[in-house]
Amino acid sequence: MRVLSGFRRSHTQGRISGTLILGVSILLVIVLCSVIGPFFVNPHNAHVGAVQPRRPPSAQFLLGTDSQGRDMLTLLIYGTPNTMKMGLIAGFIGVGLGLFFGLLAGSFGGIVDAMIRILADALLTLPAIAILVIIAGNVGHMTTNIMALVVASLSWMFTTRTIRAQVLTIRERSYVEVARVNGESAFEILFKEITPNLLPFIVASFVGTVGSAILAVIGLEALGLGALEETTLGNTIYWSQQSAAVLRGYWWWWGPPIVVIALIFLGLFLTSIGFDRFANPKLIRRT
């Protein structure tokens, strides 16, 4: 009940905006479809040759079938959670690494700070796909989990920058000064005074990192570097490209995965805008 009343108060104060509700709802609907979807379809239909190939959407195949004889609806229901999973794993690892490096750079300063900052800035400016291609291309047997790790290796820089900048400003606040005078050790100050105040930035970085990780995963999959034996949204698009589905007019093959991908990104995008306003109520007065 306390959570509910807290929610109502935040809502009337304008902290929980329509944007945040819409964004989170879109993501929840996608997650819900991935959870209950498998009860309504036969997983066998996601295999090559399970159903008649090249059927347009009909009562029997709601979203049609591809030219290898796979049911599109089944592919979508099993592919979406795989794609989301890769984004979430990469997001957790990326934000974890970013938090670690950011705290390290922000609290130690000096040469450690300089090295982390220069490396993060340089890697941020590179086209991620170029480095990921080299890594992914040298992996012997690709799976969705390895894919998540590959993408995570380049997902930490943005969080590092955000956290570092925040640590630097929070360190100068008066309550940290009070804690220091009270005799708290540097370690205590870092984890009891600074880290709790980083929470909004960690959540915001997480939403952003998941988004860019999914973008990178789908990009690598479109190049044919994905885990081709597994069902994901990016692989579905890769196969449709391989069969020239666009030119042959099979819109039901590439259309639905594009719509789901767009919805995932829209959900993440709206959530991050809405969360900005939630975490930083000053924005409400300005706009």
Partner 1 sequence: MSRELAGYLLGRFGQLLLIVFIAVSVNFLIPRLLPGDPVQTAIAKLQASGAQQSVDVQTVMNSYRAKYGLDQPMIVQYLNYWRDLFRLDLGVSFANFPETVTTKLANALPWSIGLLAVATLIAFTVGSILGALLGWPGTGRGIRALVPGLMILTSIPFYLLAIILIYLFAVIWKILPPAGGMDTTRIARLDWGTVLDVLRHALLPLLAIVLGNVGFWALGMRSQMVSVLGEDYITFAEAKGLSPWRVFFWYGIRNALLSQVTALALAMGSVMSGAVLVEVIFNYPGLGSLLYVAIRGQDYFVIQGVVLMLIVALAVLLFIVDLIYPLLDPRIRR
The contact set with partner 1 (CB under 8 A) reads 118, 121-131, 133-135, 137-140, 212, 215-216, 218-219, 222-225, 237, 241, 246-247, 249, 251, 254, 258, 261-262, 265-266, 268-270, 286-287
Q: Which CB sits closer to partner 1, 61 or 252? A: 252
C-alpha distance from residue 157 to each of 18, 101, 128, 199, 269 (Å)? 30, 9, 11, 17, 19
- List the one residue out of 20, 152, 34 whose CA is nearest residue 91: 152
Q: Kindly state the smallest distance separating residue 59's Cβ from partner 1, in Å.
A: 25
Alpha-carbon distance of 103 to 167, in angstroms, equals: 7
Nearest distance from C-beta of residue 128 to partner 1, angstroms: 6
Residue 176 contacts residue 198 (beta carbons within 8 Å): no
Nearest-approach distance from CB 15 to partner 1, in angstroms: 18
Q: Which two tokens stand for residue 73?
A: 């609806």
* Min CB(145)–partner 1 separation in Å: 17
Q: Where are the alpha helices (DSSP H) in 109-171?
A: 110-125, 128-137, 144-152, 157-170
Q: Which is nearer to partner 1, 129 or 279 (CB)?
A: 129
Cβ distance to partner 1 smaller for residue 75 or 215: 215
Rounded to whole angstroms, how far apart are CA atoms 204 and 176?
Answer: 23
What's the angle, vertex CA 31, arms to CA 234 and CA 219, rounded to 5? 20
Nearer to partner 1, 21 or 190 (CB): 21
DSSP 258-273: HHHHHHHHHHHHHHHH
Q: Shortest approach of partner 1 to residue 156 CB, angstroms?
A: 15
Q: Residue 50 or residue 133: which is nearer to partner 1 going by CB?
A: 133
DSSP letter assigned to residue 142: -
- Coil vs helix vs strand at 3: helix
Q: Between residues 206 and 250, which has the closer beta carbon with respect to partner 1?
A: 250
CA count, 13 A, side-chain hemisphere, 220:
33
- Helix, coil or strand: residue 71: strand
Q: At what angle do helices 233-242 and 251-279 cross, to 10 degrees?
A: 150
The smaller minimum CB distance to partner 1, of residues 45 and 226, is found at: 226
Q: CB of 254: closest distance to partner 1 in angstroms? A: 6
- How many residues are there in the chain? 287
Least distance (Å) from partner 1 to the CB of residue 276? 10
